Amino acid sequence: MAVLRSETRNQVLLSDLKVARRFFERGKGLLGRMTLPANEALWILRCNSIHTFFMMFPIDCVFVNRNLEVKALRRNVVPWRMVFPIWGASSVIEMAAGSIDRLEIKTGEKLHVGA
């Protein structure tokens, strides 16, 4: 388990960040889950586009580059949608719908993942 922080604001954003590194983990993503708690998120490495086919709930997506700078935000991505590739993004953090606004995440913000 990792913690997601805003380096820009020196603030903890999420206390439970799961990391999908392996092929199977990245492919599965949040499939099979019924909900996603507000303090939890999934960071999918080597991923600059996503789909929500077969998902049961909407999500917010934070696309970041290799330096964990926020490149794009996608709010309330409902099931059965696609988010096409985001140029400059190298990974995505998927979180509960409404999290981007609740956590006040902005494009250009620098994030940090740690223990």
Q: What is the pLDDT of residue 90?
A: 98
Q: Which 3 state secondary structure label does DSSP give 90?
A: coil
pLDDT digits (tens, 9 = 90+) for 38-52: 999 999 999 999 999
* Predicted local confidence at residue 53, as pLDDT: 95
DSSP secondary structure letter of residue 41: E
Sign (positive or negative) of CA dihedral 38, 9, 74, 65: negative
Residue 115 pLDDT grade (very low, low, confident, very high; cuts 50, 70, 90)? confident
Tell me, what's the pLDDT at 107? 98
Q: Residue 52, class by beta-carbon neighbours within 10 Å (0-12 exposed, 13-18 middle, 19+ buried)? A: buried
- Sequence spans of domains, the chain: 2-114
> What pLDDT sits at residue 93?
98
Return the CATH architecture of domain 2-114: Sandwich (2.60)
Report the percent of the chain where pLDDT is more than 70: 100
